[in-house]
A and B are shown apart, each in its own frame.
Chain A
């Protein structure tokens, strides 16, 4: 790394890195267009669903007076969970000096921004009166967990955007200087504006390091609170299944599991699609695999606590709820989530073969799906078991089943978050160029040279 290379060699090496890492930006083919077409189509369909919902009322969903939170809230919790990967990768790993985390931290921030932004939108879509959103600011009650949640979600989004942007400034300058005719003029103009006239002097680098470090520390309490407060939306109620004291850490660890799995999948997609085999290499997947095992083990520990302790006592209302999960209507889903989402990764990923990119990514897909269903299992079964019997209401009030409109709107959130990630990848390199080049021993002076 400290090997002094000749200017020629350094230039050549940097050129290669630049070309590889900006491939996502310059690459233009049918598949890209098709991909964006698909995304926009689903986004459009989802928005149409939302318009129907606003027009007819929330009754177009499967929610009713007893199960009054459904897919949207489960989805909201899922998105908040996945967004926590930003905290784990681009802050905790860096502060602990795990240098391999640097390569993947931009991808982690992409996920964080896309999911936390959508979490905010999903909350609005779940509201009966989205037109009164302003009331939260006009009449906000500081004792309400929803106000806390909106505060931390917006704060986390702001920090994530800054953590994405500040290390990007030198990259933007590099692209401004070297992209030339490879991208359209308007894109170049955006780079120029966002690069803030960066000229690569040491003071500027010092500020970038300083600002990023400050934000890395700040994001830890904010990141922990975003998911802790989300868990309080449930834990602050008296309902069996939610009335739990460990919900905060339980949610945070579950979030690490979901986020790590999501990042592994994204890394694999980038590796395949943009030819970044040498950047997201086996070493990174190996490390990520180990990380996934670690967080899964902690998650297993929390699951045992969360289910074993109440199951040992079987308090009346809690007992009904647990029986429904263990052997009732939700048994299949429950055990699928426990096995595919926790047990399987712990057992398999410990074997070296399964830490290779493809097997690990496949396992991660299972983990991510389980993570989503896990949120479904947290929200819906509890609402189906209130303390008092459900009577004198139509049959469909007793059980929850999402409607097509609801699924349309849920797909909107998925595709919009993927759309945000795709746009970010289309505009900005998915790995920080200057950091990576520096890692490879290339001097900063080559970065700003015009090619």
Chain B
């Protein structure tokens, strides 16, 4: 293929995609003019945040972080200029009707709640009056170790800024590493010294020798490097039952049922022995004609 062809291909392939992206999502003018009946206050924004987390975040991502799901067209960040080019009425229409990969929420979120959701979106309007401000995460130095004898995790959380004072009442998450992610084993709350102890449940499954990789991290609102405690012998041995064993019909010839193989060989072999015998008779006829 030469370059010309490739260009043509790229152009033809790219054209419809571009069209989808650039095509404006037209909103009837009467909808654009609608005003939000839900008052813009902290309470409504908080309610809207809840709704956003449950219904929207999986696609649109965290506000301002620009981390939407890779869909076509890409979901727009709710803190972006593009999002806020819409009037509140536009947003209401779009949430209600949906389009393409964006589902309609007409019957799943009530009208009142949809407006509260818009309150939350408006919280991120560039240059707007942001009422709900997430407190900057507390920087934490997290230390942890595993006591294999007691089967516990000992945790020390300290403020990083001050003179390393213990962090009180902070939630700590203890998880175990699995093939594709960490499974939460439980949470612990630090005491006044910033210490916490977590007893590892007995039924945690480790590797084939019972070694578990423990991960300790902090809950929301805290900024800490997670601590990975590799290979602690605190879990049950992972049992790996053999799947292909004995005589199974669905496996290879190595696992074939003996009776089946013997039947096959004796039936086919027997038949061909008899056929061989018949051919031998033919040879005998030939021999007889020579002898007499």
Contact = CB atoms under 8 A, between A and B. Distances in A.
Contacts of B41: none
A204 B289 contact: yes
A438 B141 CA distance: 110
Contacts of B290: 197
A142 B260 contact: yes
B281 A207 contact: yes
B249, B250, B257, B288 pick with most chain A CB within 10 angstroms: B288
Nearest to B264: A142
Interface string B278-292: 110110111011101
Contacts of B260: 142-143
A205 to B, nearest CB: 10
A325 B15 CA distance: 49
A410 B284 CA distance: 42
Contact of A210 (B257, B271, B281): B281
A143 B256 contact: yes
A214 B289 contact: no
B282 A196 contact: yes
A197 B292 CA distance: 10
A314 interface: no
Interface string A202-237: 011001101100110010011001000000000000
A203 B288 CA distance: 8
A207 B261 CA distance: 34
Contacts of B292: 199, 201
Contacts of A203: 288
Contacts of A166: 278, 281-282
Nearest to B257: A143
Contacts of A162: 275, 278-279, 282
Contacts of B252: 141
A222 B252 CA distance: 26
Instruction: Tell me the dominant secondary structure on chain A's binding face.
Output: helix
A164 to B, nearest CB: 12
B274 interface: yes
Interface in B221-274: 249-250, 252-253, 256-257, 260-261, 264, 267-268, 271-272, 274
Given A141-B253, A207-B281, A214-B278, A198 B289 contact: yes
A338 interface: no
B285 A158 contact: no
A127 to B, nearest CB: 21
Nearest to A212: B278
B278 A207 contact: no
Given A198-B285, A199-B292, A211-B282, A151 B274 contact: no
Interface in A144-200: 148, 151, 155, 158-159, 162, 165-166, 169, 196-199
Contact of B275 (A159, A207, A208, A221): A159
Instruction: Tell me the dominant secondary structure on chain B's binding face.
Output: helix
Interface residues on A, range: 20 to 34
A105 to B, nearest CB: 16
Contact of A201 (B250, B282, B288): B288
Nearest to A200: B289
A141 to B, nearest CB: 6
Contacts, number: 76
Interface residues of B, number: 27
A155 B289 contact: no
A218 B267 CA distance: 11
Nearest to A217: B274
B278 A215 contact: yes
A210 B284 CA distance: 12
B271 A155 contact: yes
Contacts of B249: 143
Contacts of A148: 264
A142 B253 contact: yes
B252, B257, B281, B290 pick with most chain A CB within 10 angstroms: B281
Interface in B112-161: none
Interface in A43-82: none
A107 B113 CA distance: 86
Contacts of B278: 162, 166, 211, 214-215
B123 to A, nearest CB: 41
B271 A197 contact: no
Given A142-B256, A142-B261, A143-B260, A214 B274 contact: yes
Contacts of A201: 288-289, 292
Contacts of B274: 214-215, 218
A218 B285 contact: no
Contacts of A210: 281
Contacts of A199: 288-289, 292
Interface in A299-339: none
B272, B278, B288 pick with most chain A CB within 10 angstroms: B278
B131 to A, nearest CB: 47
Given A142-B261, A158-B275, A166-B278, A196 B253 contact: no
A208 B286 CA distance: 12
Contacts of B288: 199, 201, 203-204, 207
B181 to A, nearest CB: 31
A222 B271 contact: yes
A198 B290 CA distance: 9
B261 A208 contact: no
A169 B284 CA distance: 13
A211 B281 contact: yes
Interface in B3-43: none
Contacts of A159: 271, 275
9 contacts: A142-B256, A142-B261, A143-B249, A162-B279, A197-B289, A215-B278, A218-B271, A221-B267, A221-B271
Interface of A: 141-143, 148, 151, 155, 158-159, 162, 165-166, 169, 196-199, 201, 203-204, 207-208, 210-211, 214-215, 218, 221-222, 225
Given A162-B275, A199-B288, A203-B288, 9 more contacts: A142-B256, A143-B257, A143-B260, A155-B272, A197-B289, A201-B292, A208-B285, A211-B281, A211-B282
Interface of B: 249-250, 252-253, 256-257, 260-261, 264, 267-268, 271-272, 274-275, 277-279, 281-282, 284-286, 288-290, 292
Closest 5 CB pairs of A and B: A197-B289, A211-B281, A196-B286, A218-B274, A211-B278
